[in-house]
Amino acid sequence: MDTRSPTPSSPLAELGRRNALAEESGGPERRERQHREGKLSARERVLLLLDEGSFEETDKFVTHRCTDFGMGSEDKRILGDGFITGYGRIDGRIAFVFAQDFTVFGGSLSETNAAKIVKIMDTAMRVGAPIIGLNDSGGARIQEGVVSLAGYADIFLRNTLASGVVPQISAILGPCAGGAVYSPAITDFTLMVDKTSYMFVTGPDVIKTVTHEEVSKEDLGGAATHNEISGVAHFMAQDDAECLAMVRELLSFLPLNNVDDPPRRPCTDPIDRADPELDTIIPADSSQPYDIKDVIERVVDDGYFFEVHEHFARNIVVGFARMNGRPVGVVANQPAYLAGVLDNDASIKAARFVRFCDCFNIPLITFEDVPGFLPGVQQEHGGIIRNGAKLLYAFAEATVPKLTLITRKAYGGAYCVMSSKHIRTDLNLTWPTAEIAVMGAEGAVNIVYGRELAAVVEKTELVEGPLTAERRAEILAAARSRKVEEFRQQFANPYIAAERGYVDAVIQPRETRRRMIAALEMLDGKRDKNPPKKHGNIPL
């Protein structure tokens, strides 16, 4: 056996030289600049994201083809061309990844590195595995002109074709501007890092020129802006490491593709665990708030709820949890914020989450406490009719197992929208505290009993003579209070709906976990489908 070391001119030596050059990327000075800015290098990110020793790189020696603007010189042809692509494993499951390397031409997109991404995405589609993009780029490579733009379009097409087939996750770990933002926008989840990442279609300089508005990059498109105001981003991390850990955690709830089931984990939390605290968690006064997350955490495995879109449209809560080890998607009105009403942002946020869960076979659990849709000119002009219909459409279209629990209020059209029995929800439960009605008792009494209340005041005046304003108000308030209680007993309770089969059971709150897990086990073999069609026309 020949054990001699390869000579400098040998094939093995050449391979080693090229590997070293490719991994050098933009050089130590530029990598150090990344570190000073609180950012990891592209290769560090990939290795931190994937299981140790699992990364297999592809197209490592690709270089660009541009010869204009001195780009054809040897020192401009950097192996890999500013993008790292390949595959590896996350918690032992296969995943495909690409990472933009800001140390090479600012991570700009060229014809050749776009082809690298397209190749990875096509392979992921054939294999049936998630696609993760680590974005840190200055945008299109100007020297390459339209071929760079064509590269973006090629990627957008793959994002669209992969949508609903394999999970797609975008981590924004630096700049992402111009047309580049539309690839993350199509993907299922977008994560950003506070203070070091930003996204916008047009930057501050262009905005100042066109509209004369002055705004910083952070205020225009920083992580806080897109997590709290625009809703473009779903998660906000404090640094690259936390962001990549979030990606790994998110994937732990998701199947590899649309024909797989979500991964189950062993569960040590008893499935019949009763929680007496739930029996008193709803305030006696129905106008008082409570935190729906307290309810969710008392029901799901080990009290662990992985919230999505935490900072956006906080009047509705969405996220992932497990029930007896099975991943579920949770949608819940939040009485602690705007009384849990549905508005434009909340409707869109929940609709997109419901559709994602339906794409990837993740059962849906809805916790309902909704007083209706938010009234106001701004909401109507903002399209609350269209946006509320999006959530209605999403729930009605979904064929995964669906459970709904009404904890307190379920009023008006919002009752219908929030996964009611009438739109194919499999099991609808309520607590005894549920109020199911066309509207709240206070408002209903004013409409239904308005004349009767006025008559009470008039009769009292006949007996007592002319009344002072204070006495009149006192009589009216007492009469209204009686009618409100009468309305609640006759109409705003769960038993009217139960009598008609609109809810399947009124349960003790402490039994919620056991009943939901039993229902999910019963629905494990559910098979449902929509009428044959190319696709529906959701009211976008």
pTM to 2 decimals? 0.90
In one letter, which amino acid is 306? F
Torsion (CA) 451, 455, 456, 462 in degrees, nearest 10:
170
- Is the pLDDT reported for residue 360 higher than 50? yes
Residues 290 and 208 in one domain: no
**Considering the domain boundaries, does residue 256 fall inside one?**
no
Q: Which domain holds residue 291?
A: 276-438+493-525
Under DSSP, is residue 365 helix (H, G, I), strand (E, B) or coil? strand
- pLDDT given at position 413: 93
On whether residue 264 sits in a domain, the answer given is no
Number of domains in the chain: 3
Is residue 273 over pLDDT 70?
yes
Residues 387 and 283 grouped into a single domain:
yes
Same-domain pairing of 383 and 478:
no
Assess contact for 330 and 306: CB atoms under 8 A: no
Asked whether the beta carbons of 425 and 395 are under 8 A apart, the reply is yes
- 189 and 70 both lie in a single domain: yes
User: Going by C-beta distance under 8 Å and a sequence separation of 6 or more, which residues neighbour residue 505?
Assistant: 429, 430, 498, 515
- Say how far residue 44 (Cα) sits from the centre of its chain: 26
Average pLDDT over residues 367-388: 96
Residue 261 lies in a domain: no
Collapsed DSSP state (helix, strand, coil) of residue 184? helix
By annotation, the residues acting in catalysis are 178-179, 413-414
Tell me: do 453 and 500 sit in the same domain: no
What is the mean pLDDT of the segment spanning 470-478?
81
Sequence-separated (6 or more) residues with CB below 8 Å from residue 509: 275, 278, 279, 281, 282, 407, 431, 433
Q: Are residues 432 and 467 in the same domain?
A: no
**Does residue 219 fall inside a structural domain?**
yes
The pLDDT value given to residue 4: 45
Beta partners for 428?
404
What is the per-residue pLDDT for 21? 61
Question: Which range in 201-215, 374-388, 453-467, 491-505 is most confidently predicted, on average pLDDT?
Answer: 374-388
Residue 314 sits in the same domain as residue 384:
yes
Mean residue pLDDT of the chain comes to: 89
Say yes or no: 474 and 513 in one domain.
no
Distance CA 73, CA 355 (A): 49
Nearest to 373 by CA among 402, 320, 411, 426: 411
How crowded is residue 366: how many other Cβ atoms within 10 Å of its Cβ?
A: 23
What local confidence, expressed as pLDDT, does residue 147 receive?
80
Residues 68 and 29 in one domain: yes
Domain boundary among 207, 235, 251: 251
Q: Convert the pLDDT of each residue in 459-469 to its tens digit.
A: 777 777 787 88
State whether 347 and 219 are in the same domain. no
**Is residue 356 located within the same domain as residue 476?**
no
Among the listed ranges 23-32, 189-198, 498-507, 515-524, which one has the minimum average pLDDT value?
A: 23-32
Same domain, 78 and 191: yes
Q: Residue 1: is its pLDDT beyond 60?
A: no
In a domain, 335, yes or no: yes
Q: What is the CATH number of the domain that holds 431?
A: 3.90.226.10
Strand partners, 329: 320, 364
Can you give the pLDDT at residue 7?
A: 53
